Amino acid sequence: MSQQFAVFGTPISHSLSPQIHSAFGRQAGIDLRYIAIEAGPGDFAAKLQAFADAGGVGANVTLPLKALAAELAVTQSERAKHMGVANTLARTADGWHADNTDGIGLVRDLTDRHRLDLRERRTLIVGAGGGARGIAPALLDAGIGELFIVNRTPERADALADMLGQPSRVHARYLGDVATFGEFDLIINATSATRGGTLAPLPRSLVGRRTAAVDLSYGEAAIPFMAWARATNCHDAIDGLGMLVEQAAESFKLWHGVRPDTNAVFAALSGHSAGLVTAD
């Protein structure tokens, strides 16, 4: 009988995760079934329990459920516990174990696939929600320089900076003051605002000669930020498809004990993501 896995979130119907994990399963010779389950904050707990009752052994979690996933777990990895968000759940005898593979997935995509040297890069993260919380510690561990966080709600940026606990290196700022920040070597869009095709105005003054612009989303949701990156002559413009594949590989390793080949899956998907609307 196939092992049962799922990805939860909203919207979720266009998620690539079922295709990715099915491909990983074929690589590893593992018989698995992976489905997408639409769930919001109001019904996620009930749907997750129903999934477990039906034999579900592993789940991925995307927007807007990552904080709730961490709360529902009975045990958490250090990285999930530190930032209070989880994108991966593994069923144990006692309940769900939570982990977050977003950060390591992003760093692996940027350094291995795109050959970016992250060391000492002055970095700006736009957004302070679950996506930003999932990636910020891994970026700091990868050796970036100063990290600036901006958000439409400044209190959330302040809270994220406090959680990271490195006040000499991590700075929360008001989004309205972004034009005064100077140039950045790495600019990451971690907001979900671009789902509606909109993007908070970002000035050209943020861009230097080696600026890499990275969107955590892929497909249609990444179009506005990618267009801005190209219009402002960023050295690199990278969407979230590679991160999606890499974080999925880390989840797969947690569940099955083997890390799949991501390059083949990324190559197969890279020409087919234009119509997708959100990052997992």
Catalytically active residues are 66
Instruction: Characterize the bridge pairing of strands 147-151 and 207-215.
Output: unpaired
Compute and round to an integer the Cα radius of gyration of the chain. Answer: 18
Q: Which of 97, 60, 95 is nearest to 75 (CA)?
A: 97
Contact indicator for 144, 169 with CB cutoff of 8 Å = no
The token duo for 208 is: 């230097």
| Residue 93 burial (CB count, 10 A) | 4
Contact indicator for 21, 248 with CB cutoff of 8 Å = yes
Cis peptide bond upstream of 137, omega within 30: no
In Å, how far are 83, 153, 187 from 132, measured between CA atoms?
10, 14, 12
The number of angstroms, rounded, from the C-alpha of 21 to the middle of its chain's C-alpha atoms is 16
Q: Which residue matches tokens 């990285």?
A: 79
